[in-house]
C-alpha cells in the first residue's frame, strides 16, 4: 500500500465497542491520534446510521471518512450521499409503523435508541411493550422492541419482539427486494434494500478519493469487503469465518484489539518518517 493509500476503516459494534456500546480501552484515543499523526486516515465503516457514527468519530478523534448503514450511505466531499428514493420509502414506513404501533397500545419512542438504551431510557408503563424507532437511519428501517418490567426497566422479550415484527411487516419499505437483519440478542430489526454491502460503499468512497486499497478492521463476515481492495484485519473476538478470511488477526479483543492494530500501523511508518 502506497503512502497515498493510508486509509484504515473500522467497524463499530463488536469491534471498537462492546455489546453495551462501551469502549473497553481508553488508550484508543491516543492510538487514533498517533496513527493520524503519521499520515493514516482513520474512519468508520459500519451498519450504524451516519449521524450516530459522526458522534463516535468525534469521540474517537478520527478525521477519516464514514461509510454508514452497511454501505448505503457514503461520505463524499464531507457530506453523506445516498439514494433519495430509499430515503423516502424509509420515512413512509417509519411513520406508518409508528402510527400502527401506537394504536395497538405500544409505547412508541423515536430518536437514537442506542444512546437511549446506553443511558438508561425509561418509556412506557410496567407490562407494556415499547418500540424504539431509530430516526437517524436514512436508507434502512430500524426499531428495537422491549417490554417494561415492574421497575420500569426495558427488558428483552424475543417472543413479543417477533410478534411485533410480524405485525409490522405490512408497513415495511417499498423496496424491490428486502433484507431483514433480525437480532434477537438486542431485540433489534433492521430492514434494508437487498444487495447493499460495505464493499459497495468502500468502492464508491475509494473511487471518489482516488484510492485502490484500504485496511478494513472488523469482527464478522459483514466486514469482509474483499482481499482485492482491502487488507482484512480481525480482532480476536471476531467470528471464526472472518478470522479465516482475514490476512491479520490480532491477539486482543474489541477496543484493545483496535489499539493494537493502530499501533502496528504506526510502526509501519516509523522507518519512512525518519527520513
Residue 132 dihedral angles phi and psi, to the nearest 5°: -105, 110
Q: What pLDDT score does 268 carry?
A: 85
Q: Which grid coordinates are listed for 106?
A: 405500544
- Which strand (E) or helix (H) includes residue 249? strand 248-249
Q: What is the pLDDT of residues 148-182, one digit of tens each?
A: 999 999 999 999 999 999 999 999 999 999 999 99
Whether the model clears a pTM of 0.85, i.e. scores above it, the answer is yes
Over the stretch 117-160, which tens digit does the pLDDT of each residue have? Answer: 778 888 999 999 999 999 999 999 999 999 999 999 999 999 99
Residue that the C-alpha cell 487514533 belongs to: 32
For 89-110, the pLDDT digits (tens) are: 999 999 999 999 999 999 999 9
* pLDDT at position 186: 83
* Mean per-residue pLDDT, 82-87: 96
Amino acid at each position: 500500500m502506497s503512502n497515498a493509500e493510508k486509509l484504515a476503516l473500522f467497524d463499530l459494534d463488536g469491534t471498537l465497542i462492546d455489546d453495551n456500546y462501551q469502549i473497553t480501552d481508553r488508550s484508543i484515543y491516543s492510538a487514533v491520534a498517533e496513527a493520524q499523526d503519521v499520515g493514516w486516515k482513520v474512519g468508520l465503516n459500519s451498519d450504524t446510521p451516519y449521524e450516530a457514527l459522526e458522534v463516535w468519530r468525534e469521540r474517537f478523534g478520527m478525521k477519516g471518512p464514514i461509510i454508514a448503514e452497511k454501505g448505503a450511505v457514503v461520505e463524499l466531499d464531507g457530506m453523506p450521499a445516498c439514494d433519495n428514493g430509499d430515503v423516502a420509502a424509509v420515512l413512509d414506513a417509519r411513520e406508518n409503523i409508528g402510527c400502527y404501533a401506537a394504536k395497538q397500545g405500544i409505547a412508541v419512542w423515536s430518536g437514537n435508541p442506542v444512546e437511549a438504551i446506553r443511558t438508561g431510557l425509561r418509556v412506557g408503563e410496567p407490562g407494556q411493550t415499547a418500540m424504539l424507532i431509530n430516526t437517524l437511519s436514512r436508507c434502512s428501517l430500524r426499531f428495537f422492541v422491549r417490554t417494561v418490567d415492574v421497575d420500569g426497566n426495558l427488558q428483552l422479550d424475543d417472543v413479543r419482539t417477533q410478534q411485533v415484527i410480524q405485525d409490522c411487516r405490512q408497513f415495511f419499505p417499498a423496496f424491490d427486494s428486502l433484507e431483514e437483519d433480525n437480532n434477537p440478542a438486542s431485540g433489534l430489526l433492521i430492514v434494508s434494500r437487498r444487495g447493499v454491502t460495505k464493499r459497495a460503499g468502500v468502492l464508491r468512497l475509494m473511487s471518489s478519493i482516488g484510492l485502490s486499497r484500504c485496511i478494513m478492521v472488523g469482527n464478522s463476515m459483514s466486514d469482509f469487503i474483499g482481499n482485492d481492495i482491502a487488507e482484512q484485519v480481525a480482532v480476536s473476538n471476531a467470528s471464526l469465518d472472518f478470522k479465516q478470511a482475514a490476512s491479520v488477526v490480532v491477539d486482543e479483543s474489541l477496543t484493545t484489539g483496535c489499539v493494537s492494530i493502530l499501533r502496528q500501523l504506526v510502526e509501519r511508518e516509523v522507518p519512512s518518517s525518519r527520513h
